[in-house]
């Protein structure tokens, strides 16, 4: 069976040129893209890389890429990442890794934020299959949980618990993550506007109005999508 994630990563390679600063997210599709870049020695040596992900940084270091730190940059050329779902406007939901705050900073820095992956990620409208993840400072945890319940009828909001340690997941910023599950996902613009206004919320995992292109692969081949 064809690896559609790998096929999408191969198509994304054509956008990368020497002397660019390239941002990389996390996941297997990004690992494929880094592998393809590595196979083009002049290209690999000619770009600088920055990433939101610890695991991706380790991979870049192992392959000898020149790595920049986020805090030293105010702009990058391209940022590539995957997602759980994206809609017809390319609003993307990223729920798994819990690093969406760093990912969103790089997406905002980028001249172009490009989604890559298999075409199953493309949906007409974001639905309730994956949670919205909210990063919240510890002092505001109880308050934010209460406000989220008031803002969205029927939302189930729970603190994300660690799988291999006792207690909650703690982000690299020292904060908690709240997983918000909806039977029917609200309008993306409403979610984006309301959640970020709650005091104590650092960021949420809906990437609203940030992506400029999606490269997806499926049985019908490679498709390039733009906001509609």
- Helices and strands (DSSP H and E) totals, the chain: 7, 14
Q: What percent of the chain has pLDDT over 70?
A: 99
Tokens matching residue 134 = 């909210």
Residue 95 is predicted with a pLDDT of 86
Beta-carbon contacts of residue 115 (< 8 Å; ≥ 6 apart): 80, 81, 82, 83, 86, 90, 92, 121, 211, 213, 214, 215, 216
Tokens 């081949």 found at: 221
Q: Where are the beta strands (DSSP E) in the chain?
A: 21-24, 48-51, 66-67, 76-81, 85-86, 92-93, 110-118, 132-136, 156-159, 176-181, 201-204, 206-207, 211-218, 221-225
- 61/195 Cα distance (integer angstroms): 36
Residue 215 in contact with residue 222, Cβ under 8 Å? yes
- 191/127 Cα distance (integer angstroms): 12
pLDDT band at 1 (very low <50, low <70, confident <90, very high): very low
Tokens matching residue 47 = 């770009």
Residue 81 in contact with residue 115, Cβ under 8 Å? yes
Span 4-62, pLDDT tens digits: 999 999 999 999 999 999 999 999 999 999 999 999 989 999 999 999 999 999 999 99
103 annotated active-site: yes
Residue-by-residue DSSP string for 76-116: EEEEEE--SEE-TT--EE--SSS-HHHHHHHHHHEEEEEEE
Burial track 117-132 (b if 16+ CB lie within 10 A, e otherwise):
bbbebbeeebebebbb
Span 87-140, pLDDT tens digits: 999 999 998 888 899 999 999 999 999 999 999 999 999 998 999 999 999 999
The CATH class that applies to domain 132-202 reads alpha beta
Residue 34 is predicted with a pLDDT of 98
> Could you tell me how many residues make up the chain?
228
Element (H, E) at 193: helix 188-196
Span 168-217, pLDDT tens digits: 999 989 999 999 999 999 999 999 999 999 999 999 999 999 999 999 99
Of these residues, 71, 103, 124, 203, which one is catalytic?
103
Domain boundaries, the chain: 4-120+208-225, 132-202
Q: What are the C-alpha distances in Å from 100 to residues 136, 138, 184? A: 12, 17, 22
The CATH classification of domain 4-120+208-225, taken from the options 3.30.428.10, 3.40.50.2300, 3.10.290.10, 3.40.50.1360: 3.40.50.1360
Residue 2 is predicted with a pLDDT of 65
Beta-carbon contacts of residue 101 (< 8 Å; ≥ 6 apart): 135, 171, 173, 202, 203
Q: Reduced to 3 states, what is the DSSP secondary structure of residue 25?
A: coil
- 24/80 Cα distance (integer angstroms): 5
Residue 166 is predicted with a pLDDT of 86
């Amino acid at each position: 069976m064809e690896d559609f994630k790998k096929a999408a990563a191969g198509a994304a390679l054509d956008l990368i040129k020497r002397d660019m600063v390239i941002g990389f997210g996390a996941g297997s599709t990004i690992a494929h893209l880094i592998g393809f870049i590595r196979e083009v020695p002049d290209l690999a040596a000619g770009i600088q890389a920055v990433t939101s992900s610890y695991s991706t940084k380790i991979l870049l270091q192992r392959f000898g890429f020149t790595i920049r730190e986020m805090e030293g940059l105010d702009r990058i050329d391209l940022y590539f990442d995957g997602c759980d779902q994206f809609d017809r406007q390319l609003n993307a939901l990223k729920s798994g890794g819990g690093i969406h705050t760093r990912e969103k900073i790089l997406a905002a820095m980028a001249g172009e934020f490009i989604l890559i992956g298999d075409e199953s990620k493309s949906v007409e409208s974001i639905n309730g299959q994956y949670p919205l993840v909210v990063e919240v400072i510890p002092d505001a945890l109880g308050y934010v949980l209460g406000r989220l319940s008031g803002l969205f009828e029927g939302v189930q909001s729970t603190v994300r618990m660690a799988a291999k340690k006792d207690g909650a997941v703690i982000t690299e910023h020292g904060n908690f993550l709240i997983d918000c599950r909806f039977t029917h996902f609200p309008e993306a613009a409403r979610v984006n506007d309301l959640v970020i206004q709650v005091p104590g919320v650092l960021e949420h995992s809906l990437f609203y109005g940030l992506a400029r292109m999606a490269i997806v692969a499926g049985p019908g081949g490679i498709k390039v999508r733009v906001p509609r």
